[in-house]
Amino acid sequence: MITIIMEKRVIPMMNKSKTILKMIGHELRLSLRSKWLLNFTILFMAMAALFYFYGIKSIEADPTDVKYGLESVGVVDTGTVDPAYFGLEEISSSDNVNDEVNQHVGYNRAIAMLMNLSLWLIPIICLILGANSIIADKEGGRLSLYKTYQMPYFYYLFSKFIALSTSLIASLGISYGIFGVILSITGNAIEASFFLTFFLLNILLVITFSALSLFVGAISVTRMQGLSLALFIWSFLVFVYEFIIFSVVDVIPYAQKLNSMLILILLNPIESIRVWSIEQLNADYIFGPEFLILNEWGTNGILTNYIMISILFMVLIVLFVSNQVIKVRG
């Protein structure tokens, strides 16, 4: 008797899993055949190459000249005093050393510029692609056909989310990965930690805004409406939200200012991912001495936990809201 009951429970679960996997596979094939995805892959490769060589040229125009001290410290001016008095030794300034330093710094500059560009470009790409995918199903009648199968809308939205996230992450991995291999073959130095942080930043952006694009597609009726809403959300999160943070923080009492600042940052995925990446690159001194506690939170892993939990909640909430909206407006 117990065996029969277990079989009745297991078989429907297996059928649901097979259905979801088939839907994800179908959506993934559609995404991979998209010309937009190919164009974005080429764009990512071109950006990586452009910004890397721009970084190298900027270093050549303003070369790094280290005469005394440690490489991590930079130039130490000893005046007329013998540097040995300070326990310093002269560092060789051969052309090979300078070239290696220039390549190292140029690569880091290129990654930093790509990070800033990703924070602007990846969100709007995800919003437009995801929203258009759902709107196309509405206009083409595929969503109406899906209704006749009496299946949960969550399957449909979840398959869209996984397919879009996977295809864009694959596009980023191929484009930046190929360029990274080319750099390693040509002998250019690559900072593994820098590149890893940069790639994780892109993955977090793709996951978050792929989920948000489902809401845009669910609430929109036409492509123009979806494009307008996607641009509004993108411009608000990228540009307007910063001014809101500065305005709100100024009127908050000093005792609650730090916690309020953290909450406001976590409410915007772009700002939270930006702060996380800055902390991972050990550049959180730019926040000023008032917010040096972010460095402590980063060292303890608390900041990373907060941001990952906030992103997880955002994705779950957006999936739930999109599911409810598409039930009514689908």
Does the pTM surpass 0.75? The reply is: yes
Q: Please give the residue that has the higher pLDDT: either 309 or 107.
A: 309
How far apart are the C-alpha atoms of 258 and 264, rounded to whole Å?
10
CA R_g for the chain: 25
- Tell me the C-alpha distance between 37 and 14, whole Å: 32
Partners of 90 in the β-ladder: 68
Q: What is the pLDDT of residues 226-239, one digit of tens each?
A: 999 999 999 999 98
Burial of 321 (0-12, 13-18, 19+ CB in 10 A): middle
Amino acid at residue number 205:
L
Tens digit of each residue's pLDDT (9 = 90 or more) over 240-278: 998 888 888 778 887 777 778 888 888 999 989 988 888
311 pLDDT above the threshold of 90: yes
Average pLDDT over the chain reads 77
In terms of Cβ atoms closer than 10 Å to its own Cβ (0-12, 13-18, 19+), residue 253 is exposed
Residue 138 has pLDDT above 60, yes or no: yes
How many distinct structural domains can be found in the chain?
1
Asked if residue 5 belongs to a domain, the reply is: no
C-alpha distances out from residue 39 to 54, 125, 323, Å? 22, 11, 30
Residue 280 pLDDT level (bands cut at 50, 70, 90): confident
Contacts of 67 (CB under 8 A, 6+ apart): 75, 76, 90, 91, 93
pLDDT at residue 281 is higher than 60: yes
Tell me, yes or no, whether 3 lies in a domain: no
Specify the residue for token string 């290696």.
100
Instruction: Decide if 247 is inside a domain.
Output: yes
Residues 1-39 have pLDDT tens digits of 444 444 444 445 567 778 888 888 888 888 888 788 888
Q: Please check whether residue 11 lies inside any domain of the structure.
A: no
On whether residue 1 sits in a domain, the answer given is no
User: 281 near 173, Cβ under 8 Å?
Assistant: no
Residue 12: inside a domain: no
- Residue-range definition of the domain harbouring residue 23: 18-329
Answer whether 167's CB lies under 8 Å from 251's CB: no
On whether residue 229 sits in a domain, the answer given is yes
What pLDDT is recorded for position 126? Answer: 93
Calculate mean pLDDT across residues 189-214: 84
Q: Find the mean pLDDT for residues 75-93.
A: 54
